[in-house]
Amino acid sequence: MAECPEVEQIGEIAEKAEESADKRFSKRVALLTAVYAVVLSICALGGSNAAKEMMMEQQKATNQWGHYQAKAQREHFYKLERSILEVELATRESQSPVARERFEKLLAQLSGEENRFAQEKIEIAQKASHHEEERDRSMKKDPYFDYSEVLLQLAIILASVSIISGSRKTLWLSLVSAGLGVFLGANGFLLFVDLPFLS
């Protein structure tokens, strides 16, 4: 029995509508995949910068602690010289007032230098500690970016699978993965939440 022409037309229209819906779905998911890729690039850049900053701050802290050591050695040198001078001054009680005045002036100079190096040491230690804090902050950021990148890559894969299969469930999984990835990436930049399993 031949099909009625109206039924054929309805079938063709339904087929075209289904094709059109499939194309719209594919285009939207493809656009969403592009957005995922952009966010992934931003998170990858954040992770790269966090790693560079971590190494740079470590180097700065190391340099400051080296400078601290040099100041500590100079301070120790002046302290030792001052101690030797104090002993010599104490053993030479019968010296002329001019010589004693010179010894006391030199002793004051040595004490001044010792105090200056001690003060500079404190300032350098504060700078070194600041660099260590910045290093630690960058170290804290890095895992968030790593996991963010993994989740965003997974979201891209799932979105691609949803285009091929036409599965909306796979698209939802992709959205969940991307949402978690975006959250972790944003947290990598801002550190608004401290997740213990990533610290």
On whether residue 6 sits in a domain, the answer given is no
Q: Would 26 be classed as within a structural domain?
A: no
- Give the pLDDT of residue 95: 75
CA angle 180, 185, 190 (to 5 degrees): 125
Short-list 61, 50, 55, CA closest to 198:
50
In a domain, 14, yes or no: no
The domain containing residue 123 runs over which residues?
32-198
For residue 166, give the H/E element and its range. Answer: none
pLDDT of the residue at 117: 93
Residue 81 lies in a domain: yes
pLDDT the model gives residue 69? 96
Is 161 contained in some domain?
yes
Q: Which residue ranges in the chain fall short of pLDDT 70?
A: 1-8, 10-14, 17, 94
Any domain includes 115: yes
191 phi, psi to nearest 5 deg: 50, 50
Number of continuous H segments (helices) and E segments (strands) in the chain: 3, 0
Please tell me the predicted confidence (pLDDT) of residue 13: 64
User: Which tokens hold the place of 43?
Assistant: 């998170």
Query: In this structure, is residue 71 part of a structural domain?
Result: yes
Q: Is residue 27 part of a domain?
A: no
In this structure, how many other beta carbons lie within 10 angstroms of the beta carbon of residue 177? Answer: 21
- For the stretch 30-77, pLDDT in tens is 999 999 999 999 999 999 999 999 999 999 999 999 999 999 999 999
Q: How many domains does the chain divide into?
A: 1
Q: How far apart are CA 79 and CA 60, in angstroms?
A: 28
